[in-house]
């Protein structure tokens, strides 16, 4: 019985050694792996960018309304001026 146990000691030590090396490697990889943080940061930046784009679209729409209103007022004033010139001529 003692002799058969000695045959398996190198095999057992090899398996245990490989397990320890793989565990150490996994711990190192997990400690240096910042993929989750990078993805979270990218998601945060995308959300901020989306919000900024929506704000910019809203501002552009407001400016468009102001320009249209200004054009309409200019046309009305121009027509009034032409009418006044024709009437008081």
Number of H-type helices and E-type strands within the chain: 2, 0
Cα of first residue to Cα of last residue in the chain, in angstroms, is 130
Domain holding 57, by residue range, is 35-89
Q: Report the chain (89 residues): mean pLDDT per 10 consecutive residues.
A: 68 84 78 77 96 97 97 97 91
- Domain count for the chain: 2
- Shared-domain flag, residues 25 and 53: no
pLDDT of residue 28: 75
- Shared-domain flag, residues 56 and 46: yes
- Shared-domain flag, residues 74 and 88: yes
Report the SS3 class of residue 33. coil
DSSP 88: T
pLDDT of residue 38: 86
pLDDT of residue 20: 86
pLDDT of residue 3: 58
- Shared-domain flag, residues 41 and 25: no
């Amino acid at each position: 019985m003692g002799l058969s146990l000695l045959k398996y000691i190198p095999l057992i030590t090899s398996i245990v050694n490989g397990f320890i090396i793989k565990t150490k490697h996994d711990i190192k990889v997990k400690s240096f792996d910042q993929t989750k943080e990078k993805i979270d940061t990218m998601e945060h930046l995308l959300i901020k960018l989306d919000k900024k784009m929506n704000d910019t679209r809203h501002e552009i729409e407001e400016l468009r309304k102001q320009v249209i209103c200004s054009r309409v007022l200019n046309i009305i004033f121009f027509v009034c001026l032409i009418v006044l010139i024709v009437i008081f001529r």
